[in-house]
């Protein structure tokens, strides 16, 4: 008599590079939640001020930008008060750079875990995105409070009605950081020095993005080249939605979305290729 069994897991010898198993990732949503919670608590563990650093960091950075680029360098800010102008660029950039920086070391920092237990490897970079989203949400609330204060003082600030679509902008920012991050993470399994260059590369990328200056101050072919940077249209659009300065570079924003999709596909391809045998090379 044949004994029938219901199998819960099927192990396959080969798997397509393009098969992402999104259903399997959703099955591990509890793990994503636990990792997000762990990442957040670990980040501020054994610190005096704890989660207050979420607010203190952008305020200190924005103050530094205001003094150096606003007061000393006298860079125009499209008639918007300098502090709120730099704060807008800072919080969107910090979300992108912090996600990218942490995702780029996924394989190296979690090699011990990967070697002991199975779970979808993409769970870890996804948890990073949600962890940093908590920080960004808190900073956004503080940013909106400052906007209200400046508007009450008569500053030329206007929130555009299109701001309701801003979550899509944040989603694109997260996906761009995710794509670039997993490309670097995949390559660092063989080329460790790439991980060392991440922080330096992010600094250069920031200055190639209109964070401490408006895109309106760049002209001609140089402006076109600047706006082909996928983070540039995101930064400009974010400022326009919340402050009313500049405008939405529609054409470049579409190009930025296409660049994000291409980078994401390349990243997933490399990630799927490397995750099968990275334990042997890390």
Determine, yes or no, domain membership for 67.
Answer: yes
List the structure tokens of 83: 């502090």
* pLDDT for residue 218 is more than 80: yes
What Cα–Cα distance (Å) separates residue 245 from each residue in 72, 120, 225, 242, 277? 22, 43, 21, 8, 49
Condensed to tens digits (0 to 9), the pLDDT of residues 253-270 reads 999 999 999 999 998 888
User: Residue 118 above 80 pLDDT?
Assistant: no
CA distance 137 to 129: 12
pLDDT, position 79: 85
| Domain membership flag for residue 274 | yes
Confirm whether 39 is domain-assigned. Answer: no
Closest C-alpha to 268, from 76, 72, 121, 161: 121
Q: 206 and 93 in contact (C-beta within 8 Å)?
A: yes
- Tell me the average pLDDT of the chain: 84
Q: Is residue 148 part of a domain?
A: yes
- Domain assignment present for 78: yes
Sign of torsion over alpha carbons 246, 249, 252, 257: positive
Please report how many Cα atoms fall inside a 13 Å half-sphere around the Cα of residue 48, on the Cβ side: 1
CA distance 209 to 201: 12
Residue with more model confidence, 41 or 259: 259
**Rounded mean pLDDT, 140-157:** 92
Q: Is residue 121 part of a domain?
A: yes
pLDDT at 83: 94
Model pLDDT, residue 281: 54
Domain count, the chain: 1
The token pair that represents 147 in the structure block: 């906007």
Query: Confidence band (pLDDT; 50, 70, 90) for 13?
Result: very low
pTM for this one?
0.86
122 neighbors 25 (Cβ within 8 angstroms): yes
> Is 88 domain-assigned?
yes
* CA dist 139 → 35, 94, 136, 262, 264 (Å): 21, 10, 5, 29, 26
Which residues span the domain enclosing 68?
A: 22-32+52-280
Burial 158-180 (b: 16+ CB within 10 A, else e): eebeeeeebeebbebbbbbbbbb
| 5 lies in some domain | no
């Amino acid at each position: 008599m044949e004994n029938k069994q219901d199998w819960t897991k099927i192990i396959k010898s080969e798997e397509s590079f393009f098969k992402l198993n999104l259903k399997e990732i959703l099955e591990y949503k509890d793990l994503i939640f636990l990792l997000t919670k762990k990442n957040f608590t670990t980040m501020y563990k054994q610190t005096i001020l704890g989660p207050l650093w979420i607010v203190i960091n952008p305020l200190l950075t924005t103050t530094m930008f205001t003094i150096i680029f606003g007061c000393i360098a006298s860079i125009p800010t499209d008639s918007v008060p300098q502090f709120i102008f730099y704060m807008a660029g800072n919080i969107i950039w910090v979300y992108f750079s912090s996600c990218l920086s942490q995702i780029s070391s996924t394989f190296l920092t979690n090699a011990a875990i990967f070697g002991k237990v199975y779970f979808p490897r993409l769970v870890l970079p996804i948890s990073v995105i949600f962890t940093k989203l908590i920080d960004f949400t808190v900073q956004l609330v503080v940013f909106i409070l400052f906007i209200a204060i400046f508007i009450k003082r008569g500053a030329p600030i206007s929130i555009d009605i299109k701001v309701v679509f801003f979550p899509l902008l944040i989603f694109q920012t997260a996906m761009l950081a995710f794509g670039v991050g997993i490309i670097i993470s995949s390559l660092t399994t063989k080329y460790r020095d790439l991980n060392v260059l991440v922080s330096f590369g992010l600094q250069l990328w920031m200055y190639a993005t209109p964070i401490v200056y408006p895109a309106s101050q760049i002209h001609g072919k140089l402006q076109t080249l600047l706006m082909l940077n996928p983070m540039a249209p995101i930064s400009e659009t974010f400022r326009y939605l919340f402050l009313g300065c500049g405008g939405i570079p529609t054409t470049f924003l579409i190009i930025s979305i296409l660049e994000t999709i291409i980078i994401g596909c390349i990243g997933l391809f490399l990630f799927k290729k490397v995750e099968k045998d990275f334990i042997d090379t890390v």
